[in-house]
Structure 1
Amino acid sequence: MKVFFKLLQIAIIALPLLAMRADKPIRVVFFGDSITQAGVSPTGYITKVGEMLKSKGQDTQYELIGAGIGGNKVYDLYLRLEDDVLAKKPDVVFIYVGINDVWHKASSGTGTDPDKYVKFYEALIKKLKAQNIRVIVCTPTVIGERNDNSNQQDGDLNQYSKLIREIATRNNLQLLDLRKHFQDYLVKNNPENKEKGILTTDRVHLTDAGNQFLAEKMLEALMQK
């Protein structure tokens, strides 16, 4: 009889804890640069992901957190990983970095060489995986919207995107190939071969349409099992 009451007591304590765990939303961190920093604005892509989740009646199942800082490169993400990501105890992390690693090479000579880019990217992944966090890696999008490979940084962006695809394969991680998605979109929707104004305002940062398109791709990736 004493054993029965002991088991009953354990059940009374455990059931509410299990219920709390079941009701806990999935915490998603978007980790990146100024594009992600702007993602939490009223028209930003993270806000739009939240709106789409709400339209599906799933907004209470997810907690979305933006962790973007303008000008950041992969090394900057590594330096603030503990405070800005791991301390929040996320279930899912999108790593979306690379534009500044490429862009700053041409604009100010402070970009990131390919070998160092891979080194710090792999270091990020190692720390995230050690916490059993689901990691989704994203290729960098565009620096210029011309669809004929005539943008100045197209070659470097293609190279760094290839590196991320290889990192994803090597680490058995989910890949969100934003570079390909953006290029495919621009082939179809930029018949005048404009440098900006379709998905970006200034060749890099997003228009409303760009934020919407990015949000749709992020949500698709998040929903994949």
Structure 2
Amino acid sequence: MTTAHSLSRRSLLQGVGSLGVLGALGATTAAVRAETATEPPKKGCVILFQGDSITDAGRDRKVLEANESKALGKGYPALAAGALLGSYPESELKIYNRGISGNKVPDLAERWQADAIDLKPDVLSILVGVNDLWHTLAFGRKYKGTVKDYEELYRALLERTRKELPGTRIVICEPFTTRTSDDFKVLAEYRAVARKLADEMKLTFVPFQSAFDSVLQAAPAEFWLWDGVHPTPAGHELMLQTWRKAVGI
């Protein structure tokens, strides 16, 4: 039989445990925050987040205006918008989220004109890759793309962007997972491609996988990525801090 005393003790222990995790989170992200540059963006800077469901984060795709809460979703782009707009209200920033759940590189390419080129971003952040692998493993394995396809299509997308938007700063975000199955170990090859392209084209690279790897001692994988792919609120916060550190704004 459960007594009031045992319930109180259990609640206390759970609370202490939660405080321990929160303390670890604070200690882990504090170092990231301390190293985050605070260079103000230029006035009127347009920042565009592109990618799949991790970037989409439940945004309302019918709302297309910059800086709108519904249009930004509930993930790291919204957190970035809040932090930047709040820190630099005089800068007249315009921040967009055009991530779409399920997207792979070929899906980005199909909508790139309207959802990237036409917006003329000063900063273009791209996170794509996990679906390029995942969709070869699920949904009836109908998608047959390979790592080679990912590299060739991604390279073509970036070359097009640099040609049509020569003044745009492109940010390549590292695909990530905490899944440890043999199938998902292949994502390391996609990560290597993303870093290779960033290095070759001298683009900004955001090391998301390294960030998640570094916090797994502070809390278990599901604390950060609830299914090994999609971030929890803590995961999105870690992404925000990692992104700002890499981009320097």
Cross-structure match for 2:51: 32
Cross-structure match for 1:178: 208
Among 18, 24, 46, the alignment partner of 2:77 is 46
Among 102, 123, 141, the alignment partner of 1:92 is 123
Equivalent pair of 2:48/2:123 in contact (CA under 8 Å): yes
Q: Give secondary structure in 1 for the equivalent of 2:98.
A: strand
Cross-structure match for 2:132: 101
Among 205, 212, 218, the alignment partner of 1:189 is 218
Q: CA RMSD in A?
A: 2.2
AA in 2 matched with 1:26? C
Larger of the two Rg values belongs to structure: 1
Unmatched segments (≥5 aa) in structure 1: 1-21, 145-149
Cross-structure match for 1:201: 226
Equivalent pair of 2:211/2:238 in contact (CA under 8 Å): no
Indicate the percent of aligned positions where both proteins have the same amino acid.
28
Question: For residues 223 and 144 of structure 2, what CA distance do their matches in structure 1 show?
Answer: 26
**Deviation at residue 58 of structure 1 after TM alignment:** 5.2
Cross-structure match for 2:67: none
- Identify if the C-alpha distance between structure 1 residues 197 and 73 changes in structure 2 by more than 3 Å, giving closer, same or farther: same
**Deviation at residue 216 of structure 1 after TM alignment:** 1.3
Question: For residues 55 and 172 of structure 1, what CA distance do their matches in structure 2 show?
Answer: 30
Higher RCO structure (Cα 8 Å, ≥6 apart): 2
Question: For residues 153 and 30 of structure 1, what CA distance do their matches in structure 2 show?
Answer: 28
Alignment of structure 1 residues 107-122 onto 2, 5 Å: 107-108=138-139, 109=141, 110=143, 112-122=145-155
Question: For residues 184 and 53 of structure 2, what CA distance do their matches in structure 1 show?
Answer: 20
Question: For residues 244 and 92 of structure 2, what CA distance do their matches in structure 1 show?
Answer: 13
Cross-structure match for 2:15: none
Equivalenced residues, count: 192
- Identify if the C-alpha distance between structure 1 residues 62 and 153 changes in structure 2 by more than 3 Å, giving closer, same or farther: farther
Question: For residues 215 and 153 of structure 1, what CA distance do their matches in structure 2 show?
Answer: 28
Cross-structure match for 2:243: 218
Equivalent pair of 2:173/2:205 in contact (CA under 8 Å): yes
After TM superposition, the score normalised by the length of structure 1 is 0.77
Q: What do the CA deviations read for 1:107-165 (whole angstroms, capped 9, x no partner)?
A: 13225301110111001111111111111111101152xxxxx3344421111111111
After TM superposition, the score normalised by the length of structure 2 is 0.70
- Identify if the C-alpha distance between structure 1 residues 61 and 221 changes in structure 2 by more than 3 Å, giving closer, same or farther: farther
**Deviation at residue 220 of structure 1 after TM alignment:** 2.0
Question: For residues 59 and 118 of structure 1, what CA distance do their matches in structure 2 show?
Answer: 39
Q: What do the CA deviations read for 1:6-30 (whole angstroms, capped 9, x no partner)?
A: xxxxxxxxxxxxxxxx974211111
Equivalent pair of 2:122/2:169 in contact (CA under 8 Å): yes
Q: What do the CA deviations read for 1:31-67 (whole angstroms, capped 9, x no partner)?
A: 10011111722x4211111222244335735321101
- Identify if the C-alpha distance between structure 1 residues 83 and 47 changes in structure 2 by more than 3 Å, giving closer, same or farther: same
Question: For residues 88 and 107 of structure 2, what CA distance do their matches in structure 1 show?
Answer: 36
Q: Give secondary structure in 2 for the equivalent of 1:117.
A: helix
Cross-structure match for 1:7: none
